[in-house]
Amino acid sequence: MAIDFKGRVAIVTGAGGGLGRQHALALAARGAKVLVNDLGGARDGSGSSLTAAEHVVAEIRAAGGEAIANGASVTDWDAVQAMVQQAVDTWGRIDIVVNNAGILRDKTFAKMDLADFRLVLDVHLMGAVHCTKAAWPHMVEQKYGRILMTTSSTGLYGNFGQSNYGAAKLALVGLMQTLGLEGAKNNIHVNCLAPTAATRMTEDLLPAEVLAALQPQAVTPAMLVLVSEDAPTRTVLCAGAGNVEAAHITLTQGAWIGLDGHSPERLAEQLEQVRDRTAEMVPPNGSAQGGYEVGRAMAMLKPE
Please write the tens of the pLDDT for every residue from 111-164: 999 999 999 999 999 999 999 999 999 999 999 999 999 999 999 999 999 999
Q: Which residue has the higher pLDDT, 210 or 124?
A: 124
What dotted CATH number matches 9-247? 3.40.50.720
41-45, 101-105, 213-217, range with greatest mean pLDDT:
101-105
**What is the pLDDT at residue 197?**
79
Euclidean distance between the first and final Cα of the chain, in Å?
Answer: 57
Write the DSSP symbol of residue 251. B
The boundaries of every CATH 3.40.50.720 domain in the chain are: 9-247
Report DSSP letters for 140-162, one per residue: HHHT-EEEEEE--HHHHH--TTB
CA 139 and chain centroid, separation? 18
Predicted confidence (pLDDT) per residue in 161-194, tens digit: 999 999 999 999 999 999 999 999 999 999 999 9
**What is the pLDDT at residue 213?**
76
Q: How many CB atoms lie within 10 A of CB 259?
A: 9
Predicted confidence (pLDDT) per residue in 49-103, tens digit: 678 999 999 999 999 999 999 999 999 999 999 999 999 999 999 999 999 999 9
pLDDT averaged over every residue in the chain: 94
**What is the pLDDT at residue 15?**
97
**What is the pLDDT at residue 47?**
59
Cα–Cα nearest to 39, from 28, 25, 29, 50: 50
CA–CA gap between residue 263 and residue 254 (Å, rounded): 14
Residue 292 is among the residues annotated as catalytic for this protein? no
- Per annotation, catalytic residue among 144, 157, 165, 292: 165
The stretch 4-12 carries a mean pLDDT of 98
CA–CA gap between residue 231 and residue 189 (Å, rounded): 7
